[in-house]
Amino acid sequence: MEKSGSPVRSFFKYLVLIVVALVQLFPLYWLFTFSLKSNMELFGDNLMGLPQAPRWENYAFVFETGNVGTYLLNSTIVTVVSIAISTVLATMAAYAISRMKWKLSGGALLLFLAGMMIPLHAVLVPLLILLTRTGLTNTYWALILPYTVFALPMAIYIFVGFFNTIPKEMEEAAKPPDLSPDLPAGRGVDQRLHPADMRVFHPVPGDQHARLLRVLGRDGVPV
């Protein structure tokens, strides 16, 4: 009975996965087809169908008149720098909390995690005042610094969890004989942290990103 029922279960499992995948991909299809339609189709009766005459010139028009190229470049710079800084700082802090022996390691982790409980709306006005007084508004750093700070609590939490899964024997075996016991092994640990690196690639959720832009990225510096 088990063997005869397993193909049926597999069929329904894959059927559910396919349905979920289609639901997730539909917004991308919808956006792509909308970008190739004319105004008559958008406001007419062809909302879900394929464009009758794809208008590829819409993309050229957006890049020429909407400064999309500048926005993409600014977003790339802000994102790459924020990820690099937050990843390096979170890795060092997480290693100190997870591996080094000191009494306040647990309290330090709780202190970092407390930053996750601070809502973005509570710091927007003080942040704007601080950046205005330091002359950082309308610059890349007006977004890089907040993104990095908001990303650190979750990034540290993720890295601490990954460090705790790495056996200390593996780390000690990868260390050169003359390396200090308080320093990380290097490559052996870095390879095990690659999944954690991928988890911290988004500094700020999308809705918070939009609010930060309206306050700190005035005049359209980063998109």
The pLDDT tens digits for 104-139 are 888 888 888 888 888 878 888 888 898 889 988 888
Confidence of residue 177 (pLDDT cuts 50, 70, 90): low
Q: Compare 24 and 202 and report the one with higher pLDDT.
A: 24
The pLDDT tens digits for 208-218 are 555 555 555 54
Confidence of residue 21 (pLDDT cuts 50, 70, 90): very high
Mean of pLDDT values over 79-100:
88
Q: To the nearest whole number, what is the mean pLDDT of the chain?
A: 77
Instruction: Tell me: pLDDT of 88 over 70.
Output: yes
Question: What is the CA 169 to chain-centroid distance, rounded?
Answer: 32
Confidence of residue 176 (pLDDT cuts 50, 70, 90): low
Q: What is the pTM of this model?
A: 0.65
Domain ranges of the chain: 2-61, 67-220
Instruction: Tell me: pLDDT of 194 over 80.
Output: no
If you classify domain 67-220 with CATH, what class do you get?
mainly alpha
Between 27-31, 64-68, 159-163, 217-221, the lowest mean confidence (pLDDT) is in 217-221
Please give the pLDDT value at position 18: 95
